[in-house]
Amino acid sequence: MKKKSRALIWVALLGALAFVLSGCLFKPVQGGIISIGRPYQYFNFEVRSDYPDSDGMELTDGKLGDYTSPGHGPWVGLWKGEEEEKPGTIVMDLGSSKSVGEVRAYFLSGSWGILAPAKMEVYLSDDAKTWSGPFTYEPGPYEGEVGLWYTANVEGTGRYVKCDLTFNGANIWVSEIVVFQ
């Protein structure tokens, strides 16, 4: 009886281990995050020296800024670029063409006179030259809120994800951009 109990315990432990590892060994299921740790570039933005993107990965590191104290946490401050009438653009490289279902970005708004973007447009591409989209998110009123998620529903595939952010003031503070399958 003792041997049978030990065998059952081992089988249960190995089954639990296989279940836990299965999430690490296989592709994300539909809806999984596919942007963690992915590189990106800025266009028509100047990164603020007081809220820099110190490691060039703050927007895809999975860490949200603390909106109750904007001076803390992983916020990246972005000034309008030289072409003020054009949106600021962030282009992320997913590494290979992937199915994209949703793009979310977390912005600071209303604190210290900083406003979230007037709108976010998302585009997809396999070559970073020809883009499909836009998939647009225009916020409604956000009175009193300071940490805001913008969500664009996207249906398509691409290696590159481009977010055009229309300024609603002189600068934008963003903490994270998340791409879901």
Report the CATH number at residue 70: 2.60.120.1190
Looking at residue 25, its pLDDT comes to 36
Give the contacts of 83 (CB within 8 A, at least 6 positions apart): 44
Q: Is the pTM of this model over 0.85?
A: no
Each residue's pLDDT tens digit, 25-55 = 334 445 699 999 999 999 999 888 888 887 8
C-alpha distances out from residue 123 to 47, 75, 153, 160, Å: 22, 23, 11, 8
Assigned domain for 102 exists: yes
Number of separate domains in the chain: 1
Assigned domain for 9 exists: no
Looking at residue 132, its pLDDT comes to 96
Assigned domain for 75 exists: yes
Assigned domain for 106 exists: yes
Assigned domain for 94 exists: yes
The range of the structural domain enclosing residue 50 comes to 28-180
Each residue's pLDDT tens digit, 126-175 = 999 999 999 999 887 666 667 789 999 999 999 999 999 998 888 899 99
Assigned domain for 15 exists: no
Give the contacts of 123 (CB within 8 A, at least 6 positions apart): 131, 132, 133, 134, 135, 161, 162, 164
